Amino acid sequence: MRDKESSHSHADVSSHVKKIQRLHTISESITASSSAPIPSMCPECLQMLTQMLEKSNDRARQEKKALTSFIASKPKSSASPTPGAPTTSTTSTSAHARHMSLMQQERAAIHAELQSLGDELAALEEEEAGVWRAINDRLWTRGRENDTRDADVARLVEMEQRMHAVRRMNVLNDAFYIWHKGPFGTISGFCLGRLPRHHIDWNEINAAWGEVGLVVVLLAEALGVHLKAYQIVPLGSFSKVIRLQTPTMEYTLHGSDQDNFAESLFNLGLTALLHCLNQLGEHAEAKDASFRLPYKIVGKDVGGLSMLFLRDEETWTKASKFALTNLKWLLAWGSKPQGGGGAGGG
């Protein structure tokens, strides 16, 4: 279609050129053959003729320019095609078609590979999720097993501590036999107290109080009780008690006939010893709701009787026996596994 338009444009240009040449030839022949002057044209006619010629000339230039551009843009091989050979346009179209076909095939192959990779990725993700589920299940199971094991180990340690405490309690029971002899309480065969009709030497009484102090210290250690306010220092017949509060004071657990007043170091030591014994009783009662000391301790009194060595020897002897009975009960309670020996502090 474009070739036809170009051929028409070329024909029009040629016809215009021929017309101009013919007019120029006629003008020259008339001028040459005629010696008579040619009458001049009127200005209007001359202007019209000039305009026509300029329009024709402009149109011819435009057509020439279009033709030149067309010729320059047309492939050289198309100017003289070989008979029977495919044109460049046909060859290009065929190559483009083959290229498009190859691209479509490659695209289909890539799409298929992407689909395969997507399926493989989904399978791997599912497998990974399964592995993590298995790991989490295993970790949970192991955590439960560890908790069970730790609980068993803790129970075993506690049982071993209790067994050790029970053995120590049994040793205490065997080593420090607490009983009674008439109106007197006895520990390891030593009597506690004095009566007008039953004279007990102070060396024996002091040895008994030394044994009581030693049992309280060992029992507190076996039960895991940290005694507060006082520290008992068992030294046989010369045992003592140290007050830990400021100012610190040192009391004695060995007396004599001259200590029969309330503020004597001996009476202060007996009051401190009774306070420590009460701490053991409170610990046992906190661990075992069914346990109660047979004789309640309040301050310097036990079972409603004063522990102070004053002029009433009978009251003092009975109060000493009550304190020794409380100690025996604590030893018996600590010897039982349910007593919680060695299980914690007080």
HSE-up of residue 152 (Cα within 13 Å, Cβ side): 6
Instruction: Kindly indicate the confidence band of residue 183, based on its pLDDT and cuts at 50, 70 and 90.
Output: very high
Residue-range definition of the domain harbouring residue 163: 156-339
Q: Using a pLDDT cut of 90, give the percent of the chain over it.
A: 43
Residue 106 lies in a domain: no
Here the CATH number for the domain that contains residue 317 is: 1.10.418.40
Asked if the model's pLDDT at residue 76 lies above 60, the reply is no
Instruction: Kindly indicate the confidence band of residue 75, based on its pLDDT and cuts at 50, 70 and 90.
Output: low
Q: Which residue has the higher pLDDT, 34 or 149?
A: 149
Asked if the model's pLDDT at residue 29 lies above 70, the reply is no
Q: Token pair of 86, please?
A: 């495919």
Asked if the model's pLDDT at residue 209 lies above 90, the reply is yes
Residue 232 lies in a domain: yes
pLDDT tens-digit map of 214-273: 999 999 998 999 999 999 999 999 999 999 999 999 999 999 989 889 889 999 999 999
pLDDT tens-digit map of 311-327: 889 999 999 999 999 99
Residue 208 lies in a domain: yes
Residue 140 lies in a domain: no
132: left (phi over 0), alpha (psi -120 to 50) or beta: alpha
- Average of per-residue pLDDT values in the chain: 82
Question: What is the DSSP-derived secondary structure letter of residue 241?
Answer: E
Number of separate domains in the chain? 1
Residue 178 lies in a domain: yes
Residue 74 lies in a domain: no
Quote the CA–CA distance of 180 and 318 in Å, as a whole number.
11
Lateral strand order in the sheet of 249-252:
230-233, 240-243, 249-252
| C-alpha 145 chain-centroid distance | 21
What DSSP letter does each residue of 247-265 carry, written as one string? Answer: SPEEEES---GGG-STTSH
Please check whether residue 193 is in contact with residue 184, taking contact to mean a CB–CB distance below 8 angstroms: yes
Q: Which of 240, 248, 299, 237 is nearest to 265 (CA)?
A: 240
Residue 81 lies in a domain: no
Residue 195 lies in a domain: yes
Q: Which of 98, 97, 75 is nearest to 87 (CA)?
A: 75
Radius of gyration of the chain (CA): 66
pLDDT tens-digit map of 217-231: 999 998 999 999 999
Q: What is the pLDDT of residue 77?
A: 46
Asked if the model's pLDDT at residue 87 lies above 70, the reply is no
